[in-house]
Amino acid sequence: LPCLCSSATCLLCSCCPSTRNSTVTRIIYAFILLLGTIVACIMLSPGVDQQLKRIPGFCEDGAGSSIPGMQADVNCEMFVGYKAVYRICFGMSMWFLGFSILMINIKNSRDPRAAIHNGFWFFKCAALVAVTVGAFYIPDGPFTYTWFVVGSGGAFCFILIQLVLLVDFAHSWNESWVEKMETGSSRCWYTGQ
């Protein structure tokens, strides 16, 4: 059976174009970031707490457990809403911060630490899950307010940088079209302006 599975994997991947290892690694990291963002958005959606309460023995105020002696001691409100988003994003940011510190001064893929960057995906995903699950065990007190301040500051910087990039893009696009309008005789550039 393992022979069949490995052949199927090789056959499936044979249609993919060949790329460098670091390019595939970047795509995987972007996919992990996208997946974490999707999970955070799901935790914000209404009705998730009702679905969690349907799991027998999981929530304090959910459906009763069919397993004798099993008591639900988890408050489902911790797993939904903005508090869950803060904890998921905290786990992802600590995971990415740890790898960014670990990968300082790596110039090429021949560096021994580049193997950690490009491989060991099982251990990296297990570490991401462990850090994210561990974030749910942090007491609620100052954590929520601290991450609110960090998130607000990060959002402000992100919007400011995007605004500068958007204005720069519009300015360079306008200069390009004005130059083409002045040098060419076509009225298309004039109409576009």
Are residues 68 and 162 both part of a single domain?
Answer: no
Q: Examine residue 11 and state whether it is found in any structural domain, yes or no.
A: no
Positions of E strands within 15-139: none
In one letter, which amino acid is 8?
A: A
Distance CA 147, CA 137 (A): 15
pLDDT band at 10 (very low <50, low <70, confident <90, very high): low
Q: Examine residue 10 and state whether it is found in any structural domain, yes or no.
A: no
Are residues 152 and 109 both part of a single domain?
Answer: no
User: Which residues make beta-bridge pairs with 59?
Assistant: 74
pTM equals 0.69
What are the tokens at 186? 């076509």
Domain that holds residue 170: 140-193
Decide which of 138, 154, 183 is a domain's last residue: 138
Q: Find tokens 């991450």 and name the residue.
A: 147
Are residues 133 and 69 both part of a single domain?
Answer: yes
Tell me: pLDDT of 140 over 80. Answer: no
Give how many domains the chain has, as a whole number: 2
pLDDT mean across residues, the chain: 79
Q: Examine residue 2 and state whether it is found in any structural domain, yes or no.
A: no
Distance CA 55, CA 75 (A): 13
